[in-house]
Amino acid sequence: MAVIRDVIPQLELFQPGTADDALALLSEHGSDAWVFAGGLDTLDWFKDRVKRPKVVVDLGGIDSLREIRTTADGIEIGAMARLIDVVNNADIKAQFPALAFAAKSAASPQIRNVGTIGGNIGQDTRCWYYRDGWTCYRAGGNICYASPPTAMNREHCILGASRCVAVNPSDTAPVLVALEAEMVIRRGSSERVIPADEFFVGPEIDIERMTALEPGDLLMSIRIPSKWAGARVYFEKVRDRDSWDFPIVNVATAIKETGGSIEDVRVVVNGVAPTPVRLTAVESAIIGESLNEQTAEQAGNVSIQGVAPLTHNGFKVNLMKNLVKRSIRDEPMNA
């Protein structure tokens, strides 16, 4: 398949100065419009000429979308806040250090200085068949090129596949799900708030989307409630290269403990399914248990129940098991 590289198709660029102006443009142009945040995912699509929107709405001039605010019930992060801003924000580091650590784990220093948290959670999957313009299910075709035994599927699903076996590549997403964050979305003058664990969409719901965002929608901010502020929240990521690479598997675990026993817990893995996966079976198994090696081992064993590895990614099974185990056993790492 011949793919033309590094030549962006003709498009019309708008650079609104306010969120209202951006929403008006998105309403006017509908599915012909593309939202441009940090541009890191966008420019890959455009240079490869796989995505060809008629209109691009650049949010870079909307300062209000970059704000990080402390609220009466936690923190609200503007969707255009750069990853480096999340890493360095004093309130986030004090209340939710795992989120700062996850943001610091994403990409490289150069990319973190440009990439946004909204872009990190909203980015499309990195399946090379899909991104190179192959007509797979996700691209509107009738086949998944990554699922046959002879396919290159080392980085693909071991959970949650439904025709498509591509995975969600975000590092901040599992932490936001673990922290019970909410996504604030506007369409015109109306606003809706979606829990983080409902924001991500699997192929069984819509195979051509990875989030609940539809044409005309704009992600405004991410609200993180104070419920888990100061709790024991663990994040770890395994990748091929320490600098800039996407996760092979990552895990975020939030634990509240009383007297050495687990009072409440949320365990979320990513890089193993089309969406971040909350491991509710693991949570149920360890609630009320002591926070020790035996409980961690139990959590790891339960986490891999129902996995379905492909030809070349069976190594992800033990990797996920051990990451979940460590997330219960080990002390959290700070940014």
Between residues 42 and 6, which one has the greater pLDDT? 42
Rounded to an integer, the average pLDDT of 190-206 is 97
What pLDDT was estimated at residue 221? 98
Rounded to an integer, the average pLDDT of 218-243 is 96
What SS3 state is found at 239?
coil
Q: What is d(CA 193, CA 191) in angstroms, rounded to the nearest whole number? A: 7
Count of CA atoms in the C-beta half-sphere (13 A) of 162: 12
Give the rounded percent of residues in the chain with a pLDDT score beyond 90.
91
| DSSP tag of 249 | E
Strand partners, 78: 221
Does the pLDDT value for residue 4 go beyond 80? no
Rounded to an integer, the average pLDDT of 161-181 is 98
Structure token pair of residue 94: 């004090």
Does the pLDDT value for residue 1 go beyond 50? no
Q: What is d(CA 241, CA 319) in angstroms, rounded to the nearest whole number? A: 16
**pLDDT digit string, tens, across residues 13-44:** 999 999 999 999 999 999 999 999 999 999 88
Q: What is d(CA 253, CA 142) in angstroms, rounded to the nearest whole number? A: 37
Residue 50 — pLDDT band, cuts 50, 70, 90?
confident
Mean pLDDT, the chain, integer: 95
**pLDDT digit string, tens, across residues 73-85:** 999 999 999 999 9
What SS3 state is found at 205?
coil
What pLDDT was estimated at residue 47? 81
What pLDDT was estimated at residue 42? 92
Strand partners, 250: 237, 270
Between residues 333 and 327, which one has the greater pLDDT? 327
What pLDDT was estimated at residue 305? 97
Rounded to an integer, the average pLDDT of 300-325 is 98
Give me the helices (H) in the chain, please: 19-29, 40-47, 83-88, 90-95, 97-105, 109-112, 117-122, 128-131, 172-178, 196-199, 280-286, 293-303, 315-329
Domains with residue ranges and CATH for the chain: 9-335 (3.30.465.10)
**pLDDT digit string, tens, across residues 122-157:** 999 999 999 998 999 999 999 999 999 999 999 999
What pLDDT was estimated at residue 87? 98
Q: Is 7 exposed, middle or buried (0-12, 13-18, 19+ CB in 10 A)?
A: exposed
